[in-house]
Each structure stands twice: as C-alpha cells, then as structure tokens.
Homo-oligomer: A and B are copies of this chain.
Amino acid sequence: MTAIAYEQAPPLTVSQWLNARQDLSLESLRGSIVVLHAFQMLCPGCVSHGIPQAKAIHAAFPPDKVRVIGLHTVFEHHAAMGPVSLEAFVHEYRLGFPIAIDTPADNGPIPVTMQAYRLQGTPSLILIDRAGHIRLHHFGQLDDLRAGAAIGQLLAEQSG
C-alpha cells in the first residue's frame, strides 16, 4: 500500500507489569493497533493531559482493535516513583489498561525502552500499526483531534 519504510517498533523491556494477567509483548499484539503512552507518575503534563487522553483512547475504541499500553519511563526522581508508589497511583487514577514499568538501565538514568525508542521526555505518544511499525512518535501534548485522526488512519488500513 505504501513504499515508505516504517521503523519497526523496538521490543518493550519491562521489569514489571501492572494491570496485566500475564506479561505482554508487542509481538503478541500484532494485528492490533498499539497506543503506547509513555509517562511518569509525577510529571504534571502526563497527569493533566497524557493520562486522561490514554484513558479516553482506551474507552473510545474496541479493545481488540486498539490496545492501550502505559509505559512508566522514570528518568528522574527515581526514588520517588518506585513500583509501590506507582501501584497507588494506578489505583487512585483508575487506570484500567496494562502498565509496563520500563527497566532501569546500567548506563544512566534513562531506562532501557525509553532509550530504544529515543524518547525525548514525558508524556510521549507512540502509535504502532498492526504490522508492528512505528507510525506516530510525539513528545508533549498532542490534541485529541490529531491523535484521533492518526488512530483512525491506522484503523482504516487493511490488516493485510
């Protein structure tokens, strides 16, 4: 359908999953559109914008077609945002989608998956198509209209 060579989405390197009955992988999600929402629980822009948007996406689309995954990419205040704090956050903010805790790296404060995706910060929104290619990679706030249009375009593509 297109000759553009999209980048294959790197694997998620996860130290712990929340809200998931079993560990997930992008490979196991092939055939669905994956909305990867990278956040930190103490990032104000994530709490005011990114997380509500991820929850709205989770509510708006059929879960078998559009899979929302939260990716907790702690790159600052590591001691403040450990798994115990994140679990309380997920409970209080009623997050209903799976949350992947990005694995701390040996080479510095930026965790492994965040490095692999070359994220510039949080919040970041990544859209992965049914074939596992990165189709949108946005740092900061993206309005719902544009986020919706990007998802709608992927939904219209043949699963092939």
Contacts and interface: CB of A to CB of B under 8 A. Distances in A.
23 contacts: A42-B89, A42-B92, A43-B92, A48-B48, A57-B145, A77-B91, A77-B92, A79-B84, A79-B85, A80-B84, A80-B88, A81-B88, A85-B85, A144-B144, A144-B145, A145-B147, A147-B148, A148-B148, A149-B152, A149-B155, A152-B153, A152-B156, A155-B156
Classify the interface of chain A: helix, strand, loop or mixed.
Answer: helix
A143 B144 contact: yes
Nearest to A150: B152
A60 B152 contact: no
A149 B150 CA distance: 7
Interface of A: 42-44, 47-48, 53, 56-57, 60-61, 77, 79-81, 84-85, 87-89, 91-93, 143-157
A145 B57 CA distance: 7
A58 B94 CA distance: 30
B77 A145 contact: no
Nearest to A94: B44
Q: Taking each of A47, A80, A84, which has the highest tally of chain B beta carbons within 10 Å of its own beta carbon? A: A80
